[in-house]
Amino acid sequence: MDRVRQGGAGFVLIVAALPGLAGASPAAGAARLVAPGVVSTAANDYNFAISRTDDVAVFATSAARFEGARIHIGRFRGDRFDELPALHFQRDGYRYSDPWLTPDGTMLLFISDQPHPGRAADAKDLDIWQVHLRDGRWGEPQRLGGEINSRSDELGPEVHAGVLYFNSSRPGGPSKTAIYRAAIGDGLAAQVEALPAAINRGDHQGDFTLSADGMTAAFWSMRTGETEKLDLYLARRVGDGWGEAEKLPAPFSSPGNDFTPFFAADGKTLYFASTRTLDEDTAGAALSNGLSNVFWATLPAAWHTRPGSKR
């Protein structure tokens, strides 16, 4: 699925106070842009995620329909945001997207259509890759093995409590784009299984993520008969499974596509991307160009989770 594929400007070294990352809290009932002009730009900006330990954040930008997608990484120092050296493995002519950092910031998962041994020369599907940070340098990325990557698109990878979650358009799934899980073993050669119907209920869904305490899941879905756009949903863990998912109300829901959720460590804030139109009196109104920006908002109190990280 082309998950609203859209944005492409480069990432510029800049000093900025980032909302939600320098001690402030978003007003109840409001969704705010994350760092207009820095993270939220005239490009397509999405998949914002931040490590739990040393304030390293990643996000992706692209052009319309996610062409030319690139991953950007930087570090927060108080109210300063400094771009880190570019990820050296990103090559012209290929897409790099859907970044996710482990809580300690030492492993990056992402997707790419770059070539690998055994791949057909004309293949364009997206696979899941991992790369490790050692001695302050990113190593060479490795494509995940086993049953994880298929000849269809794999998207939105994250690891929580030893389990890899991702979405895939592979044939034979419960929906056109479904969310899957795989227990991680040596070489990540693991059995892949689809999540239950409580999660995989729409024609398309993806970007499954967990709160720091592991008890709440967030994801986007295009629910059959309800909407023709992407909306954000939350579900509670029930035993070893999941309860029915609930669509998040405004300010998370909008007339645009809302996707790529990520829980902040405070247990109350959710980051997400949206193609919503901004009000004329909003500082970021100039960014309303049909592409996505990164937002944050406070979750309804009933969905607040315990701060900290078990991931």
pLDDT in tens, 176-227: 999 999 988 655 556 899 999 999 998 999 999 999 999 999 999 998 676 6
Phi-psi region of 228 (alpha: psi -120 to 50; beta: other; left: phi over 0): alpha
Task: Return the residue matching tokens 């991307």.
Answer: 273
| 237 within some domain | yes
- Which 3 state secondary structure label does DSSP give 134? strand
**Cα–Cα distance for residue pair 263/182, rounded to 1 Å:** 21
pTM of the model: 0.88
**Cα–Cα distance for residue pair 216/4, rounded to 1 Å:** 24
| 9 within some domain | no
Which element (helix H / strand E) includes 163? strand 163-168
| 105 within some domain | yes
- Give the pLDDT confidence of 243-293 residue by residue, as tens digits: 999 999 999 999 999 999 999 989 999 999 999 988 755 656 667 788 999
- Which 3 state secondary structure label does DSSP give 159? strand
| 230 within some domain | yes
Residue 40 and residue 271 in contact, taking contact as beta carbons nearer than 8 Å: no
What's the pLDDT score for residue 121?
83
Strands 216-222 and 231-238, bridge-based pairing = antiparallel
Lowest mean pLDDT among 10-24, 69-83, 85-99, 195-209: 10-24
Query: For residue 83, which amino acid is it?
Result: E
| 102 within some domain | yes
Residue 224 and residue 203 in contact, taking contact as beta carbons nearer than 8 Å: yes
What is the b/e burial string over 229-266, where b = at least 16 CB atoms within 10 angstroms of the residue's CB? bbbbbbbbeeeeebeebeebeebbbbebbbbbbbbbbe
Total structural domains within the chain: 1
Is the pLDDT at 26 greater than 50? The verdict is no
Residue 130 and residue 144 in contact, taking contact as beta carbons nearer than 8 Å: yes
Task: Return the residue matching tokens 């160009």.
Answer: 289
| 121 within some domain | yes
| 11 within some domain | no
Domain enclosing residue 283, as ranges: 31-303
CATH code of residue 259: 2.120.10.30
DSSP symbol at 284 = T
- Give the pLDDT confidence of 32-83 residue by residue, as tens digits: 988 888 888 889 999 999 887 767 899 999 998 899 999 999 886 655 667 7
| 8 within some domain | no
